[in-house]
Amino acid sequence: MSLVNQATSKRLLAVHGWSGVLLGLFLYVVVITGTVAVLSQEIGAWSISGAKTQAPFSQPLDARIRQLAQTVEPKYREDITIYPNASGTILVFFHTHGVNSAGKPDDVGVRFLLEPGTLKVAARDEGYGSELPEDRDSALDYFISILHISLHAPDPVGLYLTGLAGFVMLFAVISGIILHRHLIKDLFVAPRLSSRLLNRRDRHILAGSWSLPFGFLLAFTGTFFSFAGAIGLPIVAMVAFGGDQEKMTETLVGAPATVSERPADMANLDSMIARSVARTGTQPSFVSIAHWGAADSRAYLYHLPSGRAVEASTHVYDMASGRYHGVKPDLGTRPSFGSTVYAWMGPLHFGHFAGLLSKLIWVSLGLAASYVTLTGLRLWVERRPDMPSGRVLGVAIPMVGYGVPIGLTGAALGFLLNYPAGDPVSGTAFGFVWGCAFAVLLAGVLIRRGDASAVFMAVLGLAMVALPLVRLATGGQGWPDLVGAGHAVVVMIDLMLLAGGVFALHRSRRGDAIARSARGDGQASAAVPAE
């Protein structure tokens, strides 16, 4: 039964369709890059054939941090952030807070890159955080993550754009629920083969119906992440803190209860990390130390979710005494409903709450959302065969639909070819641009052909199959060595690429269900028309 009358339903369908046509391809770009970005950590490990250390925070960091602290200006000891990159290199950023050349609040200080294993200083860079050289080991996973977060557009335009995509997806999900009169009744009806139009409609509705709850969830959390930083927090700062963003951050993050500038000896950081690992059963993914060398100094050890928990946890230690202070809420200093809701946003959007298992499930949910977007666009084109814009869109859909994944394989190729002796940061970006440009050229060549999906799919399949081979050819480790060194995740990504590539090549030769049905038997027409 419909939730609205027929006239409203018609208007809503028109808005659902046109908003999809105008912004659907853009939404698809955000969704498909997000799907790939779920595995950014694993892709980072794959791109360099596995990290050089499995437990970067179990190295003797304490002595090295003390030594480095003596080499930086005292003002930069206000905050220290410590985290590993894809190769296990530890990045240590001693910094204070300032305003960068663009007039925006930014961290400024000295960043050290410490080699995994030896902890020797591999690089030392000084300046504003946003202006420091990009980390070459994490160039590929960082590129993919930023492509999803802001499309590499300047801040905050990129966040506005991805937030807009989130709103489009939210609207599409809600209007889809209202429009689909037989949501439950049609939940078990497979796509019918009696006509291409009906088949496309059924495919879109079936995928949309099953992925509705998660489509809403991913869109809502994604919109929150885009707009919270770009619009929400500045508004909160303006309304509640008189425009003082630093004061607002202190309140939201939860400034220490006691402040003391009195100098103090720092307790052993390695011991705190070891205790935190024993407490949570996981390595921290990020450590920050506030007020190094002062009596009020605190260490914050951030652990990803483990076991039954869905939320990540931040464990606080007193740096002067080494005493454990407990778990700090994500927002404020005391547990609250708002902090719990906020803590759930990340796991629900990134799907990292149960390790690789949940990430793979989230990848499949992302693929389902991408499929819904593309089938919706194809349905719109199929319904308007005589419209000139329909013909243009008919070429644009496979161009973008397969072009973005082809661009991503281009980025990976660019990284692999430039990592051994070149500049992988630029190589990754150029690889993506070349991959996308190739897709545009291919679309230009095939524009008279009509639906060029099979050709695009074959190109994508070949590119995916080529990636593991290029990784090996450019000095990457083989499978036995990787498994022996505990880097099975690299083998998994290789296998995913090979399986995906072979599947795409197979599908490009096989054609869609309607083509197969037309070639095969006449039984497909046994299905009754749409109701």
What residues line the site for another protein (CB under 8 A)?
Answer: 185-193, 203, 206-207, 210-211, 213-214, 305, 307-310, 347-348, 351, 353-354, 357-358, 361-362, 364-365, 368, 513, 517, 521, 523-524, 526-528
Question: Which residue lies nearer to another protein by CB, 87 or 373?
Answer: 373
CB of 516 to another protein, least distance (A): 8
**Distance (Å, whole) CA 469 – CA 416:** 11
Residues 6+ apart with CB under 8 A from 433: 407, 410
Alpha helices in 258-354 (DSSP H): 269-280, 337-350
For residue 434, list its beta bridge partners. none
CB of 521 to another protein, least distance (A): 7
Which residue pairs, CB below 8 angstroms and at least 24 apart, start in 474-479?
Answer: 474/416, 474/417, 474/419, 474/420, 475/49, 475/420, 476/49, 476/416, 477/49, 477/50
CB of 185 to another protein, least distance (A): 6
Amino acid, res. 439? A
Residues 6+ apart with CB under 8 A from 321: 267
CA separation, residue 293 to residues 80, 97, 248, 296 (Å) = 11, 17, 25, 9
CB of 379 to another protein, least distance (A): 15
Question: Which residue lies nearer to another protein by CB, 81 or 209?
Answer: 209
Question: Which residue lies nearer to another protein by CB, 3 or 526?
Answer: 526
Residue pair 315/300 in contact by the 8 Å Cβ criterion: yes
Which residue pairs, CB below 8 angstroms and at least 24 apart, start in 321-328?
Answer: 321/267, 322/267, 322/268, 322/271, 322/272, 324/272, 324/275, 325/298, 328/254, 328/300
CB of 204 to another protein, least distance (A): 11
CB of 203 to another protein, least distance (A): 7
Q: What angle do CA 267, 111, 127 make, to 5 degrees?
A: 130
Question: Which residue lies nearer to another protein by CB, 104 or 181?
Answer: 181
The number of beta carbons lying within 10 Å of the beta carbon of residue 24 is: 25
Go through the chain and tell me how many residues it has.
Answer: 531
Question: Which residue lies nearer to another protein by CB, 366 or 431?
Answer: 366
DSSP helix/strand/coil, 103: coil
CB of 182 to another protein, least distance (A): 8
Closest Cα to residue 143, out of 424, 394, 428? 428
CB of 514 to another protein, least distance (A): 10
Question: Which residue lies nearer to another protein by CB, 103 or 529?
Answer: 529
**Distance (Å, whole) CA 372 – CA 368:** 6
Question: Which residue lies nearer to another protein by CB, 131 or 521?
Answer: 521
Question: Which residue lies nearer to another protein by CB, 7 or 184?
Answer: 184
CB of 93 to another protein, least distance (A): 31
Question: Which residue lies nearer to another protein by CB, 123 or 361?
Answer: 361
Alpha helices in 211-336 (DSSP H): 212-227, 233-240, 245-253, 269-280
